[in-house]
Structure 1
Amino acid sequence: MIITTTNSIEGKEVSNYLGVIMGTTYTSNHGTKGMTFKDIFNSKKYYENYENGLEDAKESAFEKLKQQAEAKQANAIIGISVDVELMSTTGVTMITVIGTAVHVK
């Protein structure tokens, strides 16, 4: 599966546009998951853990996007954008990946 942020793929021709697809993941435990009480006060470890949690959530959103593309029998996704939102009242982070499922020759 070809995945790109651009609206075309060099050397390929889009033969069929199959629709806009989206993968969304919510995460709230990315800051302290697997950390000891002492580690929570170590800002370096805390932020490393936070980054790893966001990376896992992003990968999950991309996996959902790929599954939707496969369900539409696409062999590529173009025009991808990634949106990360922190819902400040709950501490939940939402990651949304949007793209266009296409079939390329």
Structure 2
Amino acid sequence: MILTTTNTIEGFKITDYKGIVTGTSSELKTKFSFKNDKNMQIIEDLMNEAKEQAFQKLQTNASHLKANAVVGISVDVETVGGSYFFVSVTGTAVLVA
């Protein structure tokens, strides 16, 4: 599956728009001090894992719509109370040829 933040895919023609798809993921983190490089690495690893899970869900949702690409992808990261963070990935599922 092709994933892109752009609205077109060079060398491909969008033949059908299937709909908006999302993928979300959340992670719980304990309160860390941002002054410690080790803690920053742990937080970065957790965020990357959550982002990967969100992208996997996005692709699964696009596949259910019989799409072979997702265009116009945006990624949003939100934090709540300093303990949780949420990753949301949104795009338009399309069929390209």
Q: TM-score, normalised by structure 2?
A: 0.92
Given that residues 20 and 90 in structure 2 are in contact (C-alpha distance below 8 angstroms), is that contact kept between their aligned partners in structure 1? Answer: yes
Q: 1:30, 1:49 within 8 Å by CA — same for their partners in 2?
A: no
What residue is the counterpart of 1:85 in the other structure?
Answer: 78
Structure 1 residues 73, 27: CA separation in 2 closer, same or farther (over 3 Å shift)?
same
Report the counterpart of residue 74 of structure 1 in structure 2: 67
Change (3 A) 1:30 1:59: farther
In 2 relative to 1, CA 30–17 (structure 1 residues): closer, same or farther, beyond 3 Å? farther
Give the % identical residues: 41
Contact 1:12 1:104 in 2 (8 A): yes
**Alignment-derived partner of residue 37 in structure 1:** none
1:24 maps to amino acid: T
Query: How far apart are the structure 2 equivalents of 1:64 and 1:30?
Result: 25
Counting strand residues as a fraction of each chain, which structure ranks higher? 2
Question: Which residues of 2 match residues 1-105 of structure 1 at below 5 A?
Answer: 1-29=1-29, 43-88=36-81, 91-105=83-97
**Residue 42 of structure 1: CA displacement?**
7.5
Count of residues paired in the alignment: 97
Gaps of 5+ in 1: 33-39
Structure 2 stretches of 5 or more lacking a match? none
Q: Deviations over 1:1-39 (max 9, x none)?
A: 00000000011100000000000111113767xxxxxxx
Checking the alignment, whether the CA contact within 8 Å between 2:34 and 2:40 is kept in structure 1 is no
- The answer to whether the 8 Å contact 2:28/2:84 transfers is yes
State the alpha-carbon separation in 2 of the partners of residues 51 and 94 from structure 1.
13
CA contact (8 A) 1:18 1:100 kept: yes
Report the TM-score, using the length of structure 1 for normalisation. 0.85
